[in-house]
A and B are shown apart, each in its own frame.
Chain A
């Protein structure tokens, strides 16, 4: 993994962008997410959160279970507003 490796494919966030924030002293997954948008795209971190957790743990020299994960929120997968509004069949 080098600085150009894309960690979050939805938001095109590279390891270099994430490492820069870790270098600045940010340490939690939520902080990294909030600054870089890693995990904020349509998949909501389902693809990248595990990769990111391991990368942060390795950087901080901690075990992966010591890194707190972000809150998972509804919906489980993206839902059209028209379906939510009840205006059309899914």
Chain B
């Protein structure tokens, strides 16, 4: 194993691989990615992989919009077909409160050149003819939202990074990050030590522990999130179907299978559990068949789970740790890490190499929790 590196990235998920690729693309040399299993083994390879630009805060809209711009040309850039499709997100409103929020969201989104619109239940049914619109008061629709194959995207970033000279060590676990009064000194791994003064924590569900390995506190935790997928069937409808108040998201993928999940922050297991529950499958099946009744005869073939890395305000933590110089973090995405990885990879690379980014990163600094400046995003599942 290499003995010395300019930058050590911990975590071979989409964040780590995107950051490594963007650093190398900007000319950074001697980058190492350490991954304790294989690339995309954690949440990156377990996520729903939808991307949307329909958010309720300006920052999230801009991050998502710019991430989608990168997704749109990423297959060409990385020389790997990541199976991009832009079939839109249809987000359903079931309460007056939601309708009011969506009206504000759409106004904000349109002011930022995101082509979302507020539509009626009848218009929603024109987009998705098999949709049960009972109790639906309105919906928002953005045709340029979509999804990609999360596994291929992560492998594509990892391969492109390696073509630019990044070294990837898989099955290599970080055991300790040694520091002294000047900052980081070295990273001890299960396969030897690497001298470095710069570490990027992109460890996803394990981010808190990777903080502890360097003696710094990071207020995030892993929480299980479950998904199920059906057998592939003929094309039934196009966009992602989503609701915040009824708590679901599911979509038919280009391949034909239907994939979706819901959030259960009150009951889901906290920690690194990747098992599954019967209750999830039954509840998700109820949600899916009541919204799209023709799904009753479509068969579920698999359910699985992965970790959301939850931060105190469910927004990512980006930037340097105030207690340890050159200890950078790209973590705590709380369920939106995959869709933001193209843009956060660019931002982190700019920030590490130049000390600033073209989008303001300060708002997402870890010190916001002490300052009490939490970011309140109204539109999350």
Contacts and interface: CB of A to CB of B under 8 A. Distances in A.
Contact of A44 (B232, B274, B301): B301
Chain A, interface size: which category? 20 to 34
A6 to B, nearest CB: 17
B28 interface: no
Interface stretch (B50-58, B64-72, B290-298): B290-298
A3 interface: no
B373 interface: no
Nearest to A28: B38
* Most B CB within 10 A of own CB, among A44, A75, A85: A85
B179 to A, nearest CB: 34
Interface string A62-74: 0000000001011
B289 interface: yes
B231 A84 contact: no
B151 A34 contact: yes
B152 A35 contact: yes
Nearest to B288: A81
Contacts of B152: 35
B300 A84 contact: yes
Contact of A88 (B38, B296, B298, B299): B296
A42 B301 contact: yes
A85 B299 contact: no
A81 B38 contact: no
A47 to B, nearest CB: 13
Contact of B297 (A37, A44, A74, A80): A80
Contacts of B288: 81, 85
A84 B301 contact: no
Contact of B289 (A30, A42, A75, A85): A85
B29 interface: no
B302 A44 contact: yes
Nearest to B292: A81
A80 B299 contact: yes
Given A31-B38, A88-B296, A73 B302 contact: yes
B88 to A, nearest CB: 23
B343 interface: no
Contacts of B302: 40, 44, 73-75
Contacts of A41: 231-232, 301
A88 B286 CA distance: 12
Contacts of B300: 75, 78-81, 84
A87 B151 contact: no
A82 to B, nearest CB: 3
Contacts of A37: 255
* Most A CB within 10 A of own CB, among B38, B159, B276, B288: B38
Contacts of B289: 81-82, 85, 87
B281 interface: yes
A43 to B, nearest CB: 8
A28 B299 CA distance: 28
B38 A73 contact: no
Contacts of A82: 285, 289, 295-297
Given A34-B45, A74-B302, A79-B300, 4 more contacts: A35-B155, A74-B303, A81-B297, A85-B286
15 contacts: A34-B40, A42-B301, A44-B301, A71-B304, A73-B276, A74-B278, A74-B303, A75-B303, A79-B300, A81-B295, A81-B296, A81-B300, A82-B289, A84-B281, A88-B296
Interface of B: 38-41, 45, 151-152, 155, 159, 230-232, 255, 274, 276, 278, 281-282, 285-286, 288-290, 295-304
Top-3 shortest CB links A-B: A82-B296, A78-B299, A84-B285
